[in-house]
Structure 1
Amino acid sequence: MDPKDPFSADFFDGSVLSHIERQQNVCPSVIVIGGGISGIAAARILHDASFKVFLLESRDRLGGRIHTDYSFGCPVDMGASWLHGVCNENPLAPLIRRLGLTLYRTSGDDSVLYDHDLESFALFDMDGRQVPQKMVVEVGDTFKKILKGTEKVRIENSDDMSVCQAISVVMDRHPELRQKGLAHEVLQWYICRMEAWFAADADVISLKNWDQLPLSYLLMKAYKLRVLVVKEHVLSGGHGLMVQGYDPIIKALAKDIDVRLNHRVTKILYGSNTVMATIEDGRNFIADAAIITVPHGILKANLIEFEPQLPEWKVAAISDLGVGNENKIALRFEKVFWPNVELLGIVAPNSYGCGYFLNLHKVTGHPVLVYMAAGRFAYDLEKLTDDAAVNFVMLQLKKMMSDATEPVQYLVSRWGTDVNSLGCYALDLVGKPGDIYERLRAPLGNLFFGGEAVSMDHQGSVHGAYSAGVMAAENCQRHLLQELGNLETRQHAYLRDEVLEGTIPIQISRM
């Protein structure tokens, strides 16, 4: 380590800065732990406010659960890929506009498929027969009625239950909503798509706390009233794929930030005036404060030791919030052999057996399909080798299209077992308190918390993670300036403060 590195514990001969010494520093110092978009956003805010800030990231790259791969000759997001809320209110809108990035819009606000509209699709049964479009639309209408019924169940019951249990209650009350034969399999495919939104199976998703997109819109349209309980404030404008991937945003935010890759933090010592972070090889880093933005799965697994131990209310919040899992298998082919639709699906007698392919040829012009699996199925796929996982997906694809060729290249994600993530994003579990997020983001003195899991209103989204990082940075900045007796307003011009005009450019529409 550089002995002149002001963040190195060696620079201070291993001692902790006194309050007087800290006051003599021109600029406060902050350690940001975690190099996903939340951590990068926090670092960006503090850097632009002239704080001494650096970022410790365990991976050999930035982005965290955002990972744009270019090995196919086109950008393929193996993690986050959608912008949820294509509107000026999205905090990422100014940056997207400034970078000239384009979106491929896949759905509006009230789509029963969450991030897709029923405009460009092809579903097949297990024998490879295409499901009639009319049946898919009719079953979709039934699914909307079922979702409306679960809202009534929630209002009637003070105790929480799983979404799966609520659907069963609705079915018992309204047997006419039950589907048989192929229609039943189509309904299971809709449930599969709902589970993919939450990255979890319906039997573990909390009915009380789930954000219910697009149910909130469906109910507002149906009942002409404000939804009583909706956990997440859903931005308007529908959903769009990032055509160039999310990587340009990560690079822009990280410009000129002091980043230390391959620095896995294993211990955090925090006190009244100083934070010391210990990385895997035993080196220590000291600063006035720290912002923790590591994935929630890392905190749940206790992979970071805190001294003193976190208070019980914080530990309970970490334990009570679940983490979902979703994986992608991206396949590149020599040429396109599938229909010119946005999504391909395979229906089955249960949601676990259903399948989903995203057609990236519509977005990038390259012959690429991306298979997505969520919940228990995502974990089961991670038990297979990459070759075996691809073989399984190809069996599904060949059932749908007998002329399917073998891929010339593939990519497989493993977010659930990746030691740097241990899951995808936050999940509301059944029967847990409703103030989890407030307790998760609550600071502990000079220790602040970011990441998508602590987002005020947008858990599980990129813009939610970004906003949480910005909030943590602003809270940290305010705290340090008060502690140092320096309440002067620090100027920082940042993209989120830009005066917005026009709309986010969607230069690639449906084709």
Structure 2
Amino acid sequence: MDPKHSICDNSMDGTFVSHIERQPSTPSVIVIGGGISGISAARTLCDASFKVVLLESRNRLGGRVHTDYSFGFPVDMGASWLHGVCNENSLAPLIRALGLTLYRTSGDNSVLYDHDLESYALFDMNGCQVPQQLVIEVGDIFVRILKETEKVRDEHSDDMSVLQAISIVLERHPDLRQEGLAYEVLQWYICRMEAWFAVDADMISLKNWDQELVLSGGHGLMVQGYNPVIKALAKDLDIRLNHRVTKIAHQCNRVIITVENGRNFVADAAIITVPLGVLKANLIEFEPELPEWKVTAISDLGVGIENKIALCFDTVFWPNVELLGTVAPTTYTCGYFLNLHKATGHPVLVYMAAGRFAYDMEKLSDEAAADFAMLQLEKILPNATKPIRYLVSRWGTDPDSLGSYSYDMVGKPVDLYERLQAPVDNLFFAGEAVSMDHPGSVHGAYSSGILASQDCLRCILQQHGNLDLFHLASKAENKEAAIPLRISRI
């Protein structure tokens, strides 16, 4: 049997099995947003014999998962990692079935979150490589500093930023303070932490920064990009691209969705998977308005920015490491390049920018942004050649995203994810920001779409008086589980 066909018939992860007899009026759902959460929701509903229409504002699917092919090969300009290379990851069955390869960039306990210490080379602002022993020593100190921030958190009932907690720790423990080059290396570690959250350390909540449920197996780059996953999930769905939703009206067990050209779509319910940044900007009118508890949840959760500048070269002139970094006196002026050649064989370096720095980068033209990245590269590799092509992401100002992924702001309530996930009448919500255990991740967004579709199924079938037709079967033995994930760099 064709693997893609079997995946489509078994609702992706094998956990949801139902047989719905068609009613005189087939239950209908509109899914708003064609990112991976919206596609997974639509896939689950379609497989349950519901009538489903997916509305996507862009001219492509994937949302913040975007594999670009303009270099002649895949380059992910949005999400590119699978965080948790293990069978417990909800996307693992699909990745296995598609035969996709992961390049593991870190183990479970990497201080750099998605890269191991031995996988990179750091340079100072003068282009001199930082001794690896110094990098390892400062890395150990950084771990100790973060451990001490837990004590600061326990001592204070009020929340504070991670940066403020680090300052308290260094004030208490002068032996952990760094000077000179070691201080710049410490700033680089903090810079990498900021990249994980897509926001500066003075914006990250001390109370919540380490509360995410991180799966085992380390982190792996999608060697062929994420597009094959999106394509497989979207097969045979009724998808309407270039349909920007402007209004959502819900009443009397039905929803009326209005798109930009004034056309209306009517269904029993809707699943809303648009990015948190779009909801925060109030670009969609709700009638009646969303309740206050939902509005404040949307307002109180933050949205960070991480951007990429992908540089394609005609020859490889850089060392065979996964990551090239520049240390500096401030996290804002630190930087790093991801070496895709080591993972994929393609001659591409990707300059990464997060937080305020990423926001400022979006003020530049694509050409100016690529020139800036090249200036940073030439500082550490004076013999660098000019790129033959480049790509620049702008997730912060993209009207269809208005940010990269969510983060916990300082001093906000702890129940935000629960409130974001909770339905409002026959409106259901999904997306990375709705994932309580895995926010900011592709598999978190994927799982949230499935959960929202299951809640929607229950609600509609109850309205139709056919709740007995809905059942969650016990997890069938996954025959694919014996097939290992395809992983390089073990």
Q: How does 1:410-449 map to 2 (within 5 A)?
A: 410-449=390-429
Amino acid at match of 1:243: V
Q: 1:65 to 1:495 in 2, by over 3 A?
A: farther
Equivalent in the alignment of 2:462: 482
Q: 1:341 to 1:316 in 2, by over 3 A?
A: same
Rounded Cα–Cα distance in structure 2 between residues aligned with 1:172 and 1:491: 57
Q: 1:357 to 1:497 in 2, by over 3 A?
A: farther
- Give the percent of matched residue pairs that are identical in Structure 1 and Structure 2: 73
The Cα of 1:70 is off from its aligned counterpart by 1.2
Equivalent in the alignment of 1:54: 53
CA contact 1:88–1:500 (8 Å) conserved in 2? no
Equivalent in the alignment of 1:372: 352
Rounded Cα–Cα distance in structure 2 between residues aligned with 1:380 and 1:449: 31
CA contact 1:297–1:421 (8 Å) conserved in 2? yes
Rounded Cα–Cα distance in structure 1 between residues aligned with 2:105 and 2:474: 29
Rounded Cα–Cα distance in structure 2 between residues aligned with 1:463 and 1:84: 8
Equivalent in the alignment of 2:324: 344
Rounded Cα–Cα distance in structure 2 between residues aligned with 1:446 and 1:496: 30
Q: 1:268 to 1:446 in 2, by over 3 A?
A: same
Rounded Cα–Cα distance in structure 1 between residues aligned with 2:477 and 2:462: 23
Q: How does 1:153-232 map to 2 (within 5 A)?
A: 153-210=152-209, 212=210, 230=211, 232=212
Q: How does 1:9-48 map to 2 (within 5 A)?
A: 25-48=24-47
Does structure 1 residue 409 correspond to structure 2 residue 408?
no
SS at match of 2:350: strand
Q: 1:101 to 1:401 in 2, by over 3 A?
A: same
Rounded Cα–Cα distance in structure 1 between residues aligned with 2:265 and 2:475: 30
Does structure 1 residue 329 correspond to structure 2 residue 312?
no
Does structure 1 residue 300 correspond to structure 2 residue 299?
no
The Cα of 1:459 is off from its aligned counterpart by 0.2
Rounded Cα–Cα distance in structure 2 between residues aligned with 1:98 and 1:491: 25
Equivalent in the alignment of 2:99: 100
CA contact 1:48–1:492 (8 Å) conserved in 2? no
The Cα of 1:162 is off from its aligned counterpart by 0.3
SS at match of 2:257: strand
Q: 1:233 to 1:500 in 2, by over 3 A?
A: farther
- The size of the alignment, in residue pairs, is 469
Q: Provide Cα deviations, 1:23-61, integer angstroms capped at 9, x if missing partner.
A: 964420000000000000000000000000010000000
Q: 1:125 to 1:496 in 2, by over 3 A?
A: farther
Does structure 1 residue 260 correspond to structure 2 residue 240?
yes
Rounded Cα–Cα distance in structure 1 between residues aligned with 2:476 and 2:263: 35
Unaligned runs of 5+ residues in structure 1 are 1-22, 213-229
Does structure 1 residue 148 correspond to structure 2 residue 147?
yes
Equivalent in the alignment of 1:361: 341
Q: How does 1:59-74 map to 2 (within 5 A)?
A: 59-74=58-73
CA contact 2:97–2:480 (8 Å) conserved in 1? no
Equivalent in the alignment of 2:124: 125
Q: Provide Cα deviations, 1:46-95, integer angstroms capped at 9, x if missing partner.
A: 00000000100000000000000111122110000000001111000100
CA contact 2:139–2:186 (8 Å) conserved in 1? yes
The Cα of 1:494 is off from its aligned counterpart by 13
Rounded Cα–Cα distance in structure 2 between residues aligned with 1:370 and 1:171: 33
The Cα of 1:488 is off from its aligned counterpart by 3.3
Does structure 1 residue 280 correspond to structure 2 residue 280?
no
Equivalent in the alignment of 1:388: 368
Q: 1:302 to 1:478 in 2, by over 3 A?
A: same
1:400 to 376, 380, 390: 380
Amino acid at match of 2:284: I
Rounded Cα–Cα distance in structure 2 between residues aligned with 1:72 and 1:167: 42
Q: How does 1:440-479 map to 2 (within 5 A)?
A: 440-479=420-459
Does structure 1 residue 239 correspond to structure 2 residue 239?
no
CA contact 2:431–2:448 (8 Å) conserved in 1? yes
Rounded Cα–Cα distance in structure 2 between residues aligned with 1:85 and 1:450: 21
Amino acid at match of 2:335: G
The Cα of 1:271 is off from its aligned counterpart by 1.2
Rounded Cα–Cα distance in structure 2 between residues aligned with 1:278 and 1:319: 24
CA contact 2:248–2:284 (8 Å) conserved in 1? yes
- Alpha carbon RMSD of aligned pairs, Å? 1.6
The Cα of 1:301 is off from its aligned counterpart by 0.2
Amino acid at match of 2:399: V
The Cα of 1:209 is off from its aligned counterpart by 1.3
Rounded Cα–Cα distance in structure 2 between residues aligned with 1:302 and 1:406: 42
CA contact 1:207–1:430 (8 Å) conserved in 2? yes
Rounded Cα–Cα distance in structure 2 between residues aligned with 1:447 and 1:505: 36
Rounded Cα–Cα distance in structure 1 between residues aligned with 2:357 and 2:30: 37
Rounded Cα–Cα distance in structure 1 between residues aligned with 2:476 and 2:199: 32
Q: Provide Cα deviations, 1:343-386, integer angstroms capped at 9, x if missing partner.
A: 00000000000001000001111110001000000000000000
SS at match of 1:255: coil
The Cα of 1:507 is off from its aligned counterpart by 3.8
Runs of 4+ in 1 over 6 A off after TM superposition: 491-497
Q: 1:495 to 1:354 in 2, by over 3 A?
A: farther
Q: Which deviates further from its counterpart, 288-297 or 267-276?
A: 267-276
CA contact 1:329–1:411 (8 Å) conserved in 2? yes
SS at match of 2:359: helix
Amino acid at match of 1:290: A
Unaligned runs of 5+ residues in structure 2 are 1-21
CA contact 2:306–2:404 (8 Å) conserved in 1? yes
Amino acid at match of 1:412: V
SS at match of 1:104: strand
Q: Provide Cα deviations, 1:377-430, integer angstroms capped at 9, x if missing partner.
A: 000000000011111110000000010000000000000000000001111000
SS at match of 2:38: helix
SS at match of 2:94: helix
The Cα of 1:496 is off from its aligned counterpart by 9.7
The Cα of 1:493 is off from its aligned counterpart by 9.7
Amino acid at match of 1:488: D
Q: Which deviates further from its counterpart, 327-336 or 495-504?
A: 495-504
Rounded Cα–Cα distance in structure 1 between residues aligned with 2:383 and 2:328: 21
Amino acid at match of 1:322: G
Amino acid at match of 2:304: G
CA contact 2:461–2:467 (8 Å) conserved in 1? yes
Q: Provide Cα deviations, 1:177-199, integer angstroms capped at 9, x if missing partner.
A: 11100110000000000000000
The Cα of 1:234 is off from its aligned counterpart by 1.1
CA contact 1:95–1:495 (8 Å) conserved in 2? no
SS at match of 1:319: helix
CA contact 1:72–1:409 (8 Å) conserved in 2? yes
The Cα of 1:501 is off from its aligned counterpart by 2.2
Rounded Cα–Cα distance in structure 2 between residues aligned with 1:274 and 1:501: 40
